[in-house]
Amino acid sequence: MKDRDRYQRQMILPGFGLATQEKLLAAKVLIVGMGGLGCPALQYLVGAGVGYIGIMDADKISLSNLHRQLLFTESEIGLLKVSQAAAKMRLLNTDVTIETYPFRIDQSNALAIISKYDLVIDATDNFPAKYLINDACSILKKPFVFGAVSRYEGQVSVFNLDKSNKGISYRDLFPEAPKQGEVPSCAEAGVIGVLPGIIGAMQAAESIKIITGIGTPLYGRLYHYNLLLGQGFEIEISANEKFFEMNETVFLENSYEENEDEMDIPEITVSEFIRMRALPEVYVLDVRERHEYPSIDFSDAQIPMSELQAKMHEIPEKEICIICHQGIRSVYAAQQISKKRNLKVYSVKGGLTAYFK
């Protein structure tokens, strides 16, 4: 240890001390995702002195990141997140080695990379990545620190901490991924900027607890935090009685891709939409949830994605132009309508965001 003064405030804690600090310096942590969750988790782990940290993300910094990813600045827009994050963290703490992976996690690299680390922090924003990370960690018997945020609420838990073959995993909480469009992404639903900071810091705290053995990790417990109420509650998670052990063969043959079997839907530009909506044979359908802002006066009906299956019969025998907030749910809605009703369906590319621009 180069400089004990750096860690003095945590080393004087009851039950911590030099031996515990040395556990942190010897630890290896992988953070998958350098966004709203990954940035604060990284900063606190580097500050705490975790000796070796891998960061994985293929994305570049964008303006829309900056309200919650405070590690980055406007001057860095367009640059790789992992490169900029690593450079700053090396300036913060020379005790820590940062390894960068400027690509997405997938079945071809997950097992080899995760095997190098003691635990994995899931800072991703999509379900396929979470299932893939969980399954790889299940095979390798590596702890998996889960985090998720949406709107004003966030969740944290720890999976695969028990190294037995029946340890609690992410699939015990969510056995199957939701169908496309059922759960809106942060781009669709929104998120208050401070929330990922809170949840990401909690993920760092859980990681420190696992590494050092202090406290009781959130294993078998899902902590749910509501920012608007300033309150949280826990849900107990039990191992699935119909447990099926994940193995490398199943992992490599499994599908973790979205939209694999979905049909292609024609996407129209805003200009094309404006022209088409004036035609009497075209029906404009808004598939946003009823509380979403702004309200519009040019749709023929609003049937939210959450109600679409039950109200499919209400859609008339016309050409259908579907619009949502960002042009994501509209594609999923169009796929469902095409399968059930065999109508000519279009999705407005970029949704209302593009329309109002």
Q: Which residue has the tokens 């193995």?
A: 247
pLDDT at residue 259 greater than cutoff 60? no
Which amino acid, residue 311? K
**pLDDT computed for residue 340 by the predictor:** 84
pLDDT at residue 194 greater than cutoff 60? yes
Q: Rounded to whole angstroms, how far apart are CA atoms 196 and 37?
A: 5
Domain 4-253 has CATH 3.40.50.720: yes
pLDDT at residue 120 greater than cutoff 70? yes
**pLDDT computed for residue 162 by the predictor:** 82
Closest by CA position to 348, among listed 305, 286, 294: 286
- pLDDT (average), residues 109-126: 95
pLDDT at residue 185 greater than cutoff 80? no
pLDDT, tens digit, for every residue of 207-247? Answer: 999 999 999 999 999 999 999 999 999 999 988 765 556 78
Range from 6-10, 35-39, 207-211, 257-261 carrying the lowest mean pLDDT: 257-261
**pLDDT computed for residue 260 by the predictor:** 42
**pLDDT computed for residue 174 by the predictor:** 86
pLDDT, tens digit, for every residue of 139-155? Answer: 999 999 999 999 999 99
**pLDDT computed for residue 40 by the predictor:** 98
Instruction: Kindly state the percentage of the chain with pLDDT values over 90.
Output: 69
**pLDDT computed for residue 179 by the predictor:** 66
**pLDDT computed for residue 24 by the predictor:** 97
Half-sphere exposure of 320 (CA within 13 A, CB side): 28
Half-sphere exposure of 65 (CA within 13 A, CB side): 25
Closest by CA position to 105, among listed 138, 132, 139, 87: 132
pLDDT, tens digit, for every residue of 84-110? Answer: 999 999 999 999 999 999 999 988 899
Domain ranges across the chain:
4-253, 267-356
**pLDDT computed for residue 241 by the predictor:** 64
Closest by CA position to 42, among listed 112, 102, 92, 117: 92
Token pair listed for 14: 């009851």
pLDDT at residue 178 greater than cutoff 80? no
- pLDDT (average), residues 246-271: 76
Tell me the CATH class for 267-356: alpha beta
Token pair listed for 148: 């998720």
Token pair listed for 241: 């009685």
* Contact partners, residue 304, CB within 8 Å, separation at least 6: 287, 288, 289, 290
pLDDT, tens digit, for every residue of 44-84? Answer: 999 999 999 999 999 999 999 999 999 999 999 999 999 99
**pLDDT computed for residue 262 by the predictor:** 56
Query: Sorting pLDDT into bands at 50, 70 and 90, what band is 186?
Result: low
Contact call for residues 16 and 62 (beta carbons, < 8 A): no
pLDDT, tens digit, for every residue of 295-344? Answer: 899 999 999 887 888 899 999 999 999 999 888 889 888 988 988 888 99
